[in-house]
Amino acid sequence: MKKLNFLTAFIMLFAAIGFTSCDSEPVDPLLIDNGEQPSGPASFKVDFNGSTFATAQATAVVSGNSIAVSGVKLPSGENVSLIVPGTTTGTYNLADGGLISYQPSITTMYMYTNVNPSLESDPNGTVTITSINTTNHTISGTFNFVGYRNDVEVDAPSITFTNGAFQNVPYTGTVGPQPESLFKVKIDGAQFTADDAQATMGVGLTSIAGFRGANGEYVAIVINATAEGTYTDLAVLSYAASEDDDNVYSSLLIENAGTVTISDIDTVNHTISGTFSFNAINDADDEKAFTEGVFDNVPYTTDNATGDIFKATVDGTAKDYANSVITSFIEGGTSPFINIQGVDTNGSGILLVISDDLGAGTYAISNEFGSDAKGFYIVDEDTTLSALEGSVTITAKEDGHIVGTFQYTIVDAGGGVPTHTITNGQFDVEY
């Protein structure tokens, strides 16, 4: 099984850069509200290619020891996002850590970032946090950078972004010094201590991951729950020696593989703490033991920053699983297949399974053995029902990105009476 796409784009950006230092002069957080504060509604803008990107749809998250700010245009999803390694006012030289990205639309599979992928150079640009209003919970600042298309196979010119400014953008989280986070575990007895750890909490799902080294070595856990407690069947661990490694270890195919305990969810500081232990296996049936695992004060976000789409009308009720969608790539049998799953707050949800051999086209959903497409309704953690009939249409599939629509019906095994109907299904996900 290849790695699960349970992390948001912001978390992957955090993992890609070591936020260990910055060229800044942060103020005492007790003095953040002093001085003149900007007035007016939220705004986010930047000039490039002879025009101005401007929007009032902007949000910010203060998580751990970083600030993330994003502006987006609807309905296209065109967006500019930035992350700086600090939680106070000051000027941050992004060569010392930080990232800015521009995505032309939510459906594009490429973006422009402040890192030149062909040269693997340090990030460029600067961000100045000019004001953090802890009374109104808003943040303001300026930025500039040169963006490079992250698809090195396309010879696209760089884009210069100037006069970037965001004002009175509402933020969640806590400014100033944050509790020190920790993520560690013994892998076959050898200590793994993460350089960086992040978590997300969506509708029904919690994901926690620790990253180590320049290659992106990671240990990650996904839990089908968002509350404090101890979980076994509802949790999956995965591990890879690098972010590009296909030799991924997973606990998914091992019965009673392990346990994770969420001991504390701090909703004020947006951190999560707990312990875990698992066994995991790779495609060659090599097994690793993950013992004495600890995650402490790991910052979490609740945003769906990936842009993944997974939604449907379930039994007449529209469901949006954007904040809980989890995708996986399973290798085994005659061909690999793609899992796309979403769950609701009550633990119910839907699961779509598609053969990786399929390209653009419309295919029948069937519960017959060996079928290329299957649909499921998840009643709870112990019960999953298979669809007898339906269809899935793949409109695009390339480089680990799949887009399409689906519909199917779950029928009573005895009399053929429909028990669950899934219509108007849409997916647009990375896997």
Confidence category of residue 214, pLDDT binned at 50, 70, 90: confident
∠ Cα 306 312 315 (to 5°) = 150
Q: Is 340 exposed, middle or buried (0-12, 13-18, 19+ CB in 10 A)?
A: buried
- Per-residue pLDDT tens digits for 126-178: 999 999 998 888 999 999 999 999 877 778 899 999 999 999 999 887 776 66
Confidence category of residue 179, pLDDT binned at 50, 70, 90: low
Confidence category of residue 304, pLDDT binned at 50, 70, 90: low
pLDDT of residue 363: 94
pLDDT of residue 203: 55
Classified as helix, coil or strand, 30 is helix
Q: Model-level pTM? A: 0.44
Classified as helix, coil or strand, 13 is helix
Confidence category of residue 62, pLDDT binned at 50, 70, 90: confident
pLDDT of residue 296: 94
Confidence category of residue 77, pLDDT binned at 50, 70, 90: confident
Asked if residue 1 has pLDDT above 60, the reply is no
Q: Which residues partner with 170 through β-bridges?
A: 138
Asked if residue 83 has pLDDT above 60, the reply is yes
pLDDT of residue 415: 55
Asked if residue 286 has pLDDT above 80, the reply is yes
Q: Which residues partner with 265 through β-bridges?
A: 272
- Per-residue pLDDT tens digits for 320-355: 887 778 787 776 556 788 999 888 767 788 999 999
Tokens of 318: 């529209």
pLDDT of residue 6: 31
Confidence category of residue 122, pLDDT binned at 50, 70, 90: confident
As a whole-number percent, the residues of the chain with pLDDT over 70 amount to 84
